[in-house]
Structures are given as structure tokens and as C-alpha cells.
Structure 1
């Protein structure tokens, strides 16, 4: 099943040919700033399954000192994907057009969440990263 996604203004679109996996919500201060929200909702994609179908030339890429970062629409600012070493690593769940059929598996970096955010009881949550993180 292919999934599609797009930015807020529709200028940039993509397609994924595999099921996203390892969905998580990150509550660190960097994600709050990058996504202008209490957290980022993100899922990984199988390498080689992601392709841009429209507007790739409108993307802006921000990379940190480790070569990881995000790509976003230069028109509307929607963050569409995360990149590691120049390759799309995963997608922001909010920009998908279809139901990906997955749920958030974990909440990470809840130890640095915003003081106004309440993490619900009963969810899998880690103060920083999971102990088996790779």
C-alpha cells in the first residue's frame, strides 16, 4: 500500500512505497522548536521507499552538527521529513494524507517536556531515549 503526504500549501508532495514503522512522539526542547508544537510525531521509513512527487526544488534542509536534520517546505514551512546523512530517515505523521495504520509506540524525552504539557497515564514513556535505542 502506497502512502502520500504533502505540506500545508500543497506545493511539495511525496510518496512512500512501504509501511512506516517505529512511530514515536519526541518531547525534547529541540523538537518543540522545530515543529512549533509540544512534540514531534514521527515514523521511520524503509530506505529507498520514499520519493518526492512534486516540489522537491522548494525544499529547504536544516542539518545539525551531526548531519541529521529536517526538510521543510520553503513556501509554507511544513516539516515533511527527517534526514540522516542526506537520506530521508522518516516522515512527520501530520503531513500524511492517508491513515498509516500505525500508532505512536513511545513518547521519548519526556524528562524535558514543556511544563504545560501533560503526558497521559499508561503510555510508554522514556525520560530520555529507550535503553535499547539504536
Structure 2
């Protein structure tokens, strides 16, 4: 499976020569700010299977003291991927062009979700990380 993705303005594009895994939605206050939304929708990807195909010069990065962060388009602001210790760790599902044939398996950090967000009780939820998160 090959997946492609792009930012909102189309200046940055990428491809994934394989699939994505471990899709989750994070409801922490930091993700709400980074994604300007109630949560982030994110899936892991192998760094070896990921490649920027156009517009890499428009990438901006935010990396915190622990070496984790995200990369986004400096023109339109779309958050494209997550970075851990200098390598791409995962991608935002909203920027994919194709159906990744995956579903969000869990909602994490719901203990700090926005007061105005209602999450159905039927979905898998964790107050913080799920027990198997790395």
C-alpha cells in the first residue's frame, strides 16, 4: 500500500511506502493547541517508509526539551507529522489523501479533555497513556 498526504495549501507533499498503525486520538491540552481542535488524530508510521516528495523547504519544526514535537507547513500551518529524537514517528490522519484502512483504536488523555467535548462512553478511553503506549 502506498499512501500520500499533503498540507492544506498543497505546498508540502509526502508518501508512505506501506501502511500506518496504532491510530489514536489524543485529547490533551497540548494537542488541542497544536492542532487547533478538540483532539489530534494520529497514527504511527515507519520512518524508513516515509518520504517528503515536494516542498520540504516549507517545513517548520517544533521540538521540545525531550526531543519530541511536530513538523508543520510554514505557509498554511497544517501539522503533518510527529517527531521523536529527530525521526518521523507518525502522521496526522487528516492530511492523508487516501483511506489508510485503519480506525482510531483508542482515545488517550481524556482526563484532560476540554470541558465542552463529549466523548461517547462506548469508545475505548484512557485518562492518560494507554498501557501499551511507548
User: Which interval holds the TM-score relative to the shorter structure?
Assistant: over 0.9
1:78 aligns with 2:81: no
| 1:130 Cα deviation after fit | 1.2
1:7 aligns with 2:7: yes
Deviations 1:18-71 (A, max 9, x none): 110000000000000000000000000023000000000100000011010000
Alpha-carbon RMSD across the aligned residues, in angstroms, is 0.6
SS in 2 for 1:72: strand
Specify the alignment match of 2:18 in structure 1.
18
Specify the alignment match of 2:37 in structure 1.
37
Measured in 1, the distance between the counterparts of 2:67 and 2:47 equals: 17
Measured in 1, the distance between the counterparts of 2:63 and 2:16 equals: 22
Deviations 1:66-113 (A, max 9, x none): 010000000000000000111110000000000000000100000000
Structure 1, unmatched stretches of 5+, are: none
Measured in 1, the distance between the counterparts of 2:63 and 2:89 equals: 13
SS in 2 for 1:48: helix
Specify the alignment match of 1:108 in structure 2.
108
